[in-house]
Amino acid sequence: MSLRSAPTPLAWQSDFGQLSKTIRQIGIYLVLFGVSLGCQSDPKSEAVPSKAAPSASAQANGNSTPPVIEHPGEALFVAVQSSASRGKALVKKHECSRCHEGTGFQAAPRELHCFSCHEDIARGRFGQGSRKLPGWQETVEHYRYVPSLAHIGKRIRRHWIAKYLHSPTDLRRHLLSNMPRLGLSVTDASDIAHYLTETQQPSAPDSPVSGSLSRGRQLFENKQCGRCHDFSGSGVAISPDLAAAKAEDQPGIRLAPDLRLTRERFLSSALIDWLRDPAAMSSGTRMPNHGLSGADAADLAEFLWQTELKAPVPPVPPKRLPALTRDVSFDEVNEKVLSRTCGHCHTDPLSAGGDGGPGNTGGFGFKPRGLDLSSYRGTMTGHITPSGDRASVFQKTESGEPLLLAAILARSGEQHGTETPGVRGMPLGLPPLNPEQVQLVESWIAQGRRR
């Protein structure tokens, strides 16, 4: 039951180098010529006319009246000449259908599917007869939901999708799993975004919304949109309370995005239609139809788009607890961290019917790294480096931390968009370990990694 893999650190590092180079180049263009990226052309894009929708910056340029919504961090993706057919091949390679519906590919079989196996456990369709089932059902509750990608291009902007795939951040506070940081280059991410939005993204410039902001705020509170949605920074009175919610309301709360991000990611031309009839745009969505009139929807849209937002609370860097003075054994680390969280993706292929999980035999487009964290021996045997050699996961990285610890520490930053060059955060796409777990791993390593 493992999750099987991304580009090697080496490939990723060179990607990163290229990326910062491109950022620098773009910066220079902007400063020197004062031109928007939409107008700037590199030799490649001159040779092949772009099939892509007009870029956000071109849209902003073409029209002098509408308020300009900032799309930070997208310039790199706007500049890429993307290919939908290559994007489709990448969606297959990176196995998006192991988690998402609506990828254009059949859902992966249950033994590979991260969410349907959990769903089956929760509903008692998997693991019947096992004494462990009730315990499993509690554990998997948080890991049953993932947003559908069906018709996503009708509502979400292509360049936002590309940016997000390249550097995923946390969109939904109550959804514990995040989009994993896959090994995608800027071009890969752009190609996939192009494929996902190919036939759906409007080619006309995104139209601005217009309604009454103050009435929109009132409606937002009266209709209790905050039962499911955070709208962080907006100062609205209610916010979701998962613990107090009825069981049938919980999936909606988990899957509702923080509306702070909507003005960055949503097509403003689709917002009113979405608010009036969400299911018409995404069948099976958990967003209810509130029976809004056109005027109500316009006022709500105005509020969502225009209300002033307080700056986000800066992410608190993970608290590092001092090393433990008591003895820490592998058994304890295994019980509280490795077998609980890591073994799911890093297990021994021989004992798992050949599939050692994405972090061992490969998966999600990652090459096999041969890392087995399910036993003492496996953990000591280490991983396969990009050059194909075996190496210890306790070797120091650039930050001076052993790789295993560096990967664990890198995970918290990723959720807020801060990546550690050359180190992929672990556990992949899942909540960071808590400070006590980090302390345990760190102390065990410092004490000489006793069995």
Instruction: State which of positions 414-443 bind ligand HEC (CB under 6 A).
Output: 424, 426-430, 433
Q: Which member of 300, 328, 333, 445 binds ligand HEC (CB under 6 A)?
A: 300
Q: Which residue, 434, 438, 430, is CA-closest to 139? A: 430
Give the nearest distance from C-beta 288 to ligand HEC in angstroms: 5
Q: Please give the residue whose beta carbon sits closest to ligand HEC in the complex.
A: 3
Site for ligand HEC in 201-220 (CB under 6 A): 220
* Dihedral of the alpha carbons of 65, 69, 73, 74, in degrees to the nearest 10: -60
Assigned token pair, 173: 């506070």
Which among 17-25, 38-46, 70-78, 257-265 is the span making contact with ligand HEC, rule CB under 6 A? Answer: 257-265
Q: Which is nearer to ligand HEC, 36 or 103 (CB)?
A: 103
Establish if 261 lies at the interface with ligand HEC (CB under 6 A). yes
Q: Which member of 62, 124, 288, 312 binds ligand HEC (CB under 6 A)?
A: 288
Give the nearest distance from C-beta 343 to ligand HEC in angstroms: 8
Number of residues in contact with ligand HEC, rule: CB under 6 A? 94
Q: Which is nearer to ligand HEC, 24 or 416 (CB)?
A: 416
Which among 15-23, 26-34, 312-320, 363-371 is the span making contact with ligand HEC, rule CB under 6 A? Answer: 363-371
Give the nearest distance from C-beta 344 to ligand HEC in angstroms: 5
Site for ligand HEC in 265-284 (CB under 6 A): 265-266, 275, 282
Site for ligand HEC in 82-121 (CB under 6 A): 91, 94-96, 98-100, 111-114, 117-118, 121
Q: Is the dihedral of CA 272, 277, 281, 285 positive or negative?
A: positive
Assigned token pair, 168: 């995923």
d(CA 427, CA 407): 8
Q: Which member of 158, 163, 229, 276 binds ligand HEC (CB under 6 A)?
A: 229
Site for ligand HEC in 157-196 (CB under 6 A): 161, 165, 170-172, 175, 177-180, 182-183, 192
Up-side HSE of residue 261: CA atoms within 13 Å toward CB? Answer: 17
Residues 6+ apart with CB under 8 A from 246: none
Give the nearest distance from C-beta 197 to ligand HEC in angstroms: 10
Q: Is the dihedral of CA 318, 10, 427, 89 positive or negative?
A: positive
d(CA 158, CA 160): 5
Contact call for residues 419 and 167 (beta carbons, < 8 A): yes
Site for ligand HEC in 320-339 (CB under 6 A): 337
Neighbour tally for 68: CB within 10 Å: 12
Establish if 225 lies at the interface with ligand HEC (CB under 6 A). yes
Give the nearest distance from C-beta 285 to ligand HEC in angstroms: 3
**By CB neighbour count within 10 A (0-12 exposed, 13-18 middle, 19+ buried), where does 431 fall?**
middle
Q: Which is nearer to ligand HEC, 4 or 36 (CB)?
A: 4
Give the nearest distance from C-beta 352 to ligand HEC in angstroms: 10
Contact call for residues 219 and 290 (beta carbons, < 8 A): no
Q: Which residue, 125, 154, 123, is CA-closest to 141? A: 123
d(CA 144, CA 215): 36
Q: Report CA-CA distances (Å) from 329 to 321, 345, 374, 378.
A: 18, 22, 15, 16
Establish if 445 lies at the interface with ligand HEC (CB under 6 A). no
Q: Which amino acid is at 409?
A: L
Site for ligand HEC in 136-155 (CB under 6 A): 136, 139-140, 143, 146-147, 149, 152
Q: Which is nearer to ligand HEC, 81 or 397 (CB)?
A: 397
Peptide bond before residue 168 is cis, with ω within 30 degrees of 0:
no
